[in-house]
Structure 1
């Protein structure tokens, strides 16, 4: 076993846990036995964890939690970034001191996460964090970035496209708008009137959502809308159909309509997150961080994120940032 010399020796570490499923009030930071890497595993000292709507959705009630294979007591959070501090014998591709980011389903907000070195999205994944990407930013990439990438693969955008992105100001929208622009597409992003300047900063042409959206998009587009991405529900799907966008060029991530493709992070291409991290490292893609909270304030952080009015990502600081 290769291990960092500064690893804790007291046998305890911290993790955010739920003793009952429910809202933010069910979350508590607790002392737990410090996990150790077993055969074929690595341990990561977590520096930061990014929040996503799926975190509180999965743990909102027992029935939903069961669908994701979760049981009590249950951890919380999925996106993380940190440093490898244990590598079991025989594991290749990771070394103590490597900076990594990835997913640990509903257990990322903790001092340590242990992953299979050859893991997958359900058991946990670690990607190497490139130079030029800080840990807070790296902790926002996996779920939202992977979902946006998978959805844009469905749409197959290019320089001749004009894409309508519904819910463009949310966590996935941050990535979807910028990746669509990088692909050469024109982006029209729907949001509240107060989000217009923020959407422009991402590269989208803003349009207010709500009744009459199709007419506003027609007036703004001054031509055909060729694709649409609904990041909130299904309202954008109906508008896209009204605009005569073919069903095979409409995609949803949170709602389902017969004939409309869906996408999620599990469908992302194998190299999607490495590509996104490189875009961040080279300055071609930026991730606005709306707020950071110490792990002790986890309830307040989840409350603001769950309100769905945050422009950018909410990040939990767990250990000091390098």
Structure 2
């Protein structure tokens, strides 16, 4: 099968689409014929040499941590899944390939009406946003500042915070301000003068801040939010340690993913896909994600 392989630490030039053996499912596992797989900022970081806690792997390895596709093989004790089921799911590495083997408990059923590009883009960003806002205790009466509000994580975070009763101020480039207004957020431009712009947009004050962007977001957040336990990041862990705010990490679960799928089915969650690329153009996909100006997600098609 074809797979996106990291051949060494570095830029997009270290990516290769190579032929690797088809994986075979073991006990409790399912094999999925992948149709689409999202490209995450963390994929770029791993390509460059970063390793999340607990992940010890050296090149060559297959990249990707979310996917959507059709079940095509079952291991023993794979639960209620059947060959031909349309699913979306997640695992650490291995998803940007024609086929992926995954624990049966890391899959959820894909709604029939959900486009494949959206299905392949939901798990990583959606679960990250859900986990972060849950950890920060976002709820009715809050005013939440979301940094990087137009990106994959930010787009979901804005909608979840609004659904949970919060007012949202979101940072983005001006080209994405109309998009944020459509999602129910008050948009502000990031960069110099951000603190003053947020105070003008939210004279009632900001009670929580979620950083999905980096680039000085935490420094601005500590000026705006009194309780540092309600400031968190999924990108700037060194900054979080220095400033005494939260490093937001946690386990992805099928239960959380299923909740997001139900929100989509109810029309309460809009998923944005900026562009999809065939797997052979994975380097171009990485360059687009690395530009930092993606609205929603970038997706690979197999």
TM-score, normalising length from structure 1?
A: 0.86
CA distance in 1, matches of 2:205, 2:293: 30
Report how far residue 64 of structure 1 moved: 4.2
**Preserved CA contact (<8 Å) 2:288 2:294:** yes
CA distance in 2, matches of 1:188, 1:19: 41
Greater shift, 194-203 or 212-221, is seen at 194-203
**Preserved CA contact (<8 Å) 2:37 2:120:** yes
C-alpha RMSD of the superposition: 2.0
**Preserved CA contact (<8 Å) 1:49 1:77:** yes
Q: For residue 284 of structure 2, what is the aligned residue in structure 1?
A: 300
Q: For residue 112 of structure 2, what is the aligned residue in structure 1?
A: 131
Q: For residue 182 of structure 1, what is the aligned residue in structure 2?
A: 163
Greater shift, 249-258 or 142-151, is seen at 249-258
Q: Alignment partner for residue 215 of structure 1, among 196, 211, 218?
A: 196
Q: For residue 117 of structure 1, what is the aligned residue in structure 2?
A: 104
Q: Alignment partner for residue 184 of structure 2, among 203, 212, 219?
A: 203
Q: For residue 7 of structure 1, what is the aligned residue in structure 2?
A: none
CA deviations 1:277-315 (Å, max 9, x no partner) are 111122110111100111121111111112111111111
CA distance in 2, matches of 1:302, 1:244: 34
Greater shift, 164-173 or 267-276, is seen at 267-276
CA distance in 2, matches of 1:53, 1:231: 10
Report how far residue 25 of structure 1 moved: 1.2
User: Structure 1 59/149 Cα, relative in aligned 2: closer, same or farther at 3 Å?
Assistant: same
Q: For residue 62 of structure 2, what is the aligned residue in structure 1?
A: 75
Between structures 1 and 2, the one with greater helix share: 2
1:105 aligns with 2:92: yes
CA distance in 2, matches of 1:136, 1:213: 34
**Number of corresponding residues:** 298
Report how far residue 241 of structure 1 moved: 2.4
Gap runs ≥5 in structure 1: 1-12, 119-124
CA distance in 2, matches of 1:229, 1:148: 9
User: Structure 1 230/315 Cα, relative in aligned 2: closer, same or farther at 3 Å?
Assistant: same
Greater shift, 274-283 or 125-134, is seen at 125-134
CA deviations 1:66-121 (Å, max 9, x no partner) are 97222222111111100111112332131111111112322111110012334xxx
Q: Alignment partner for residue 22 of structure 2, among 27, 30, 34?
A: 34
1:18-33 aligned at under 5 Å gives the runs: 18-33=6-21
Gap runs ≥5 in structure 2: none
1:313 aligns with 2:300: no
CA distance in 1, matches of 2:4, 2:289: 16
